[in-house]
Structure 1
Amino acid sequence: MSDSKITPALVVSAKPVVLPASGARGDSLTVRVSAPATGSELPVIVFSHGFGWSMNGYAPLADHWAAQGFVVVQPTHLDSRTLAVPAEDPRTPRIWRHRIEDITRVLDGLDALEAAVPGLAGRPDHGRIAVAGHSWGAQTVSTLLGARVLDADGAPGEDLSDPRVKAGVLLALTGLGDDLTPFAAEHFPFMKPSFDTMTAPALIVAGDHDQSLLSTRGPDWFTDPYTHSPGDKSLLTLFGAEHSLGGIPGYEVAETTDESPARVALIQQLTTAYLRSTLQGDDAEWKAAATALDEDPSPLGRLRSK
């Protein structure tokens, strides 16, 4: 598929930008902020990394989005290997909740983050905010879109949705908790979501070769967020893709078992077009990309919407 018609912009990136510690988190929240060097009324993407990663990961997405006119904010969660929080740390059982609070902390602190990056203050549009995440990061940000975590009795937990968030990109988001392996059910009780109230618009990206060790189901487990959520959702199913979806965590990283620059390029293009459509009301690029994928004689994936 063709590259975006918008010429990539010069990008400035600042790290670490620090938001002071608050509450039980203990450590200050370190953040990377990337943005076009020029322009105003820039939409914002807050990105939540997968397990063990940090603000330094996911360059194929963060750099691309920033070059295409978005402000990209990447917090480092407590599970990051760069922080080395031990398993016996009292915060460990609640890291899933600290992750969600990190995203809210970023939203609350956007003015401070802007002020810390030379030349950025006043340029982001706080009325056009999206969240995105990969794997555990997708689970994290899905709650701000309206997903709920079920308690031990199957009752929906606290509503953590945030009206400031207008849309989401959920990459390799795990499915329902009915089919967890015994290990996952014991160690990850937060992996029991309900998508019934995930009402905000979202693009869900799943690989049809993504076989999780946490589920007894096959790769279709990762399509649950689309199947079980209300409308205004799109599902991109990538053919042959495993959990790294071709290499979105980073170029030439060991975690990527299905390296495919073409697959990553498709994700870059479609996520950018989707976010322009949902945040800026510009549907032309999204419709053109969807049509091109549908008419491709050798497509890399399939796109559905409801």
Structure 2
Amino acid sequence: MTDPTPAARPTQVLSICPIVLPAPGRPVELQLRVSAPVTGDALPILLLSHGHGPSNFLSSLNGYAPLAHYFAAHGFVVIQPTHLDSKTLPFRGSDHPDAPLFWRARAEDMRRILDQLDTLERAAPAIAGRVDRSKVAVLGHSMGGHTASVLLGARHRDPRDGSEVSLAEPRIRAGVLLAAPGRGDALSQYAAEHYPFFSTIDFSTMTTPALVVAGDKDGSSHLTTAGPAWHADPYVLAPGPKSLLTLFDAGHGLGGVSGYDAAETTDENPDRVAVVQRLSAAFLRTQLYPGDPAWQDARNALTGAADPLGRVESK
């Protein structure tokens, strides 16, 4: 499939890490990686949220290189935080009320980044003055997809007191949810006992435009009894405008988005990763720059392929 996105010829990328942001009230300061094209101005921002995952380093600012590199090479400033649930930090087994997934802190990390863009640019002079702060998107995989969903408007009830929690971030204009969790009434017994906040997720308030990407072989039986269709719930249960990319024969790794040659990818397929890269970038490009034909071009390229690796529907 030819690359339909603008700047289809990738540019050189710079990567700066760690950048440390002050984080009062957080157990540790917030560490980030920033990846950006070497040249260009008025660059859009992509907040990239890692998954929970079993690996030591993929779930941190050091993971998700296939996505970070691609988006930076195609014109985005990609910002990757290390969330508190990362195995590089000692908090998964803590007695913190939101451990081990830290669903609330993850979204707060992204808000903190947007609040401190001045600090971030001072720490990374190579991008100073080159960022368009009016064009912000979020992309997350697995638990990172959940983080993206609440930033885009999905809501929970706090399992401690039943109060409604809204973490919507109005500065984020569009998002991509990769293999994200679905509705709360289809949880496995394990998920219901260990991650009770999942049970109250409400996608009806997720009004910001989003692309949901789901693998049709992603059963995630440790989390749900609904099978692969569960990961399409953020599309099915949210209001438009939304799009759903269903990847054929794809598991939870969607071909390998979390890292190059990662052992935990059960469905490794570079062509599948390329579809995720291209369709996600094209969707965000058109959402951030209305009138840009990237999304329609990408859809046409997918459906026009001799052996399509997925299908797209929209509402």
TM-score bracket for this pair, using the shorter chain length: over 0.9
Query: Distance in 2 between the 1:145 and 1:27 partners?
Result: 26
Is the 2:153–2:168 contact (alpha carbons within 8 Å) kept by the matching residues of 1? yes
Partner of 2:242: 233
Output aligned runs, 1:118-267, within 5 Å: 118-151=125-158, 157-192=164-199, 193-212=201-220, 213-267=222-276
CA distance in 1, matches of 2:12, 2:35: 10
Give the Cα–Cα distance (whole angstroms) in 2 for the partners of residues 177 and 185 of structure 1.
Answer: 8
Tell me, which stretches of 5 or more residues in structure 1 are unaligned? none
Query: Corresponding residue for 1:33?
Result: 34
For the aligned residues, what is the CA RMSD?
1.7
Seen in structure 2, the aligned counterparts of structure 1 residues 155 and 229 have a Cα distance that, compared at 3 Å, is: farther
Q: Do the aligned partners of 1:156 and 1:194 also contact (CA within 8 Å) in 2? A: no
1:126-170 Cα distance to aligned partner (Å, 9 max, x none): 000001100001101211100001355997722211110000011
User: What CA distance in whole angstroms lies between the structure 1 residues aligned with 2:255 and 2:143?
Assistant: 17
1:210-230 Cα deviation digits (max 9, x unpaired): 011210111001111000000
1:101 to 98, 108, 131: 108
Residue 290 (structure 2) pairs with residue 281 (structure 1) = yes
SS of equivalent to 1:119 = helix
Q: What TM-score do the two structures reach when normalised by structure 1? A: 0.95
Deviation at 1:44, TM superposition (A): 0.3
- 1:93 Cα deviation from its structure 2 partner: 3.0
Contact kept, 8 Å, 2:158 with 2:165, in 1: the verdict is no
**Which deviations, in whole Å up to 9, do the C-alpha atoms of 1:281-302 show, x marking residues without a partner?**
2431211111122232311000
Whole-Å separation in 1 of the counterparts to 2:104 and 2:161:
18
- Name which of structure 1's ranges 59-68 and 93-102 shifts more when overlaid on structure 2: 93-102
Structure 2 length normalisation: TM-score? 0.93
Equivalent pair of 1:143/1:160 in contact (CA under 8 Å): yes
1:18 is matched with 20
Paired with 1:246 and 1:50, the residues of 2 have a C-alpha distance of: 15
Once the 2 structures are TM-superposed, how far is the Cα of residue 86 of structure 1 from its aligned partner? Answer: 4.8
Q: Distance in 1 between matches of 2:33 and 2:158?
A: 33
What letter is aligned with 1:197? T
